Amino acid sequence: MAIIRAFKAFRPTADLASKIAALPYDVMNSEEAREMVKDNEYSFLHVDRAEVNLPNDTNIYDKVVYEKARDVLDKMIQDGLYVQEDKPCMYIYRQTMNGKSQTGLVICAAIDDYINDKIKKHEHTRKDKEVDRINHVDYCDANTGPIFLTYRNQAEISKIMDKWIQNEPLYDFISEDGNGHTVWIINNDSDIERLTTLFKNVDSLYIADGHHRAKSAVEVGLKRRKENPGYTGEEEFNYFLAIVYPDNQLEVLDYNRTVKDLNGLNEDEFLSAIEKNFKIKVSKEAVKPKRRHTFGMYMNNTWYELEAKDGTFNEEDPMERLDVSILQNNLLSPILGVDDPTKSDRIEFIGGIRGINELEKRANKDMKVSFSMFATTTDDIMSIADGGMIMPPKSTWFEPKPRSGLFIHKLS
């Protein structure tokens, strides 16, 4: 049983929505964020990456950054850039990229569902990143970026959403990356109640993207409970901002790898070592894998197609059968010596949105060998989360990413 509820969102005025909406805070560094806001005073990065309003040498984790985030958000609301609904509502958010759309329901999810593992996770979180977002949420007294959740599709939920998208949208714009963003409001009490009831029949929600945002929102909620020992459970700090997408709407992109060196091997020795666990074939063109357990490899201006041999993994094990696990366990670790990719400075990860050309570019410039991957599936994510397991690092890349700043959930 999943608990969702409507909320009285603060949202941008229609004329400013396209200027305010911003990419999530964690897909760029400070320097990139400063560049993005140079010509846009309304960008929500002024809140989500508030160091852009401060001198370049400001420590991004300094208290002054969180105070600035709070002050900027408060001023945006005071200046009328945002309006607040006069009653709790839900929203439908559709994103379109390269002609393909994903449509989700904007709601508030319960921190207790996260604590009780009704909202399932597939990644570990890092403490430093948690603390950053805990401070941001706490100072702003708001969830400013939605957590990206998914669930196993239910026809009746989709039917209600399909009815509402026949109406005039609140927002409909193209962002600077060429992606479309359309938002509709659901403000009918009976439909909101019906959706709330239908989600009680959903066994689990799954975090697709936003593990740090989710953990931080929960930690702030628990902090507020301690500060308010008489809390009833209905207070807004018991809930956090999320967008829930049916699993059939999502496309997971590949998350590729590039490595700096061959771990002391020459190219012939490296290829010979690979042949133990992979079939190798030279390709006349760039290899973007079209099926599971196959990989592209680019080295010295040559593309190779690799296929994992039988016996190198257990197809019945949801973790072992992941392509990221197969590559890690049979090549990156035993041959290239990258035992812990989260701590090694010899490996980098490249989201599939950047394309095959980026793998070639890096291997030709400052790396030695690149690997293209077949994308992890939504079923893989759910199976691993259901089993209480944690996926290998950098297993999934979701695109398009929900924009921040379109919906603000105030905690008090």
Predicted confidence (pLDDT) at residue 7 exceeds the cutoff of 90: yes
Strands (E), 178-277: 180-186, 205-209, 239-246, 252-253, 255-259
Q: Give me the percent of the chain exceeding a pLDDT of 70.
A: 100
Lookup: tokens for 211: 């593990």
Residue 360: band (very low, low, confident or very high) from pLDDT cuts 50, 70, 90: very high
- Give the integer Cα–Cα distance in Å for 209 and 397: 8
Predicted confidence (pLDDT) at residue 230 exceeds the cutoff of 90: yes
Residues 6 or more apart in contact with residue 204 via CB below 8 angstroms: 2, 118, 119, 120, 151, 385, 386
Q: Which residues pair with 82 in a beta bridge?
A: 12
Tell me the pLDDT tens digit for each residue of 94-132. 999 989 999 999 999 999 999 999 999 998 888 888 999
Say what the pTM is. 0.89
Query: Can you tell me the mean pLDDT for 50-79?
Result: 97
pLDDT for 316:
92
pLDDT for 342:
81
Predicted confidence (pLDDT) at residue 366 exceeds the cutoff of 90: yes
Residue 222: band (very low, low, confident or very high) from pLDDT cuts 50, 70, 90: very high
How many CB atoms are located within 10 Å of the residue 195 CB? 21
For the chain, which residues make up each domain, given as ranges?
4-251+400-410, 255-374
- Give the integer Cα–Cα distance in Å for 272 and 229: 65
The CATH number of the structural domain formed by 255-374 is: 3.30.1760
Predicted confidence (pLDDT) at residue 353 exceeds the cutoff of 90: no
pLDDT for 127:
87
Tell me the pLDDT tens digit for each residue of 372-410. 999 999 999 999 999 999 888 888 888 888 999 999 999
Q: Give me the percent of the chain exceeding a pLDDT of 90.
A: 90
161, 103 Cβ separation under 8 angstroms? yes
254 secondary structure, DSSP code: P
Give whole-number Cα distances, 74 to 25, 145, 222, in Å. Answer: 19, 16, 24
- Give the integer Cα–Cα distance in Å for 34 and 54: 10
Residue 154: band (very low, low, confident or very high) from pLDDT cuts 50, 70, 90: very high
- Exposure string of 340-352, with b = 16+ CB inside 10 Å and e = fewer, is ebeeeebbbebbb
Predicted confidence (pLDDT) at residue 159 exceeds the cutoff of 90: yes
**Relative orientation angle of helices 155-164 and 189-199, to the nearest 10 degrees:** 160
Supply the Cα-derived Rg of the chain in whole angstroms. 23
pLDDT for 392:
86
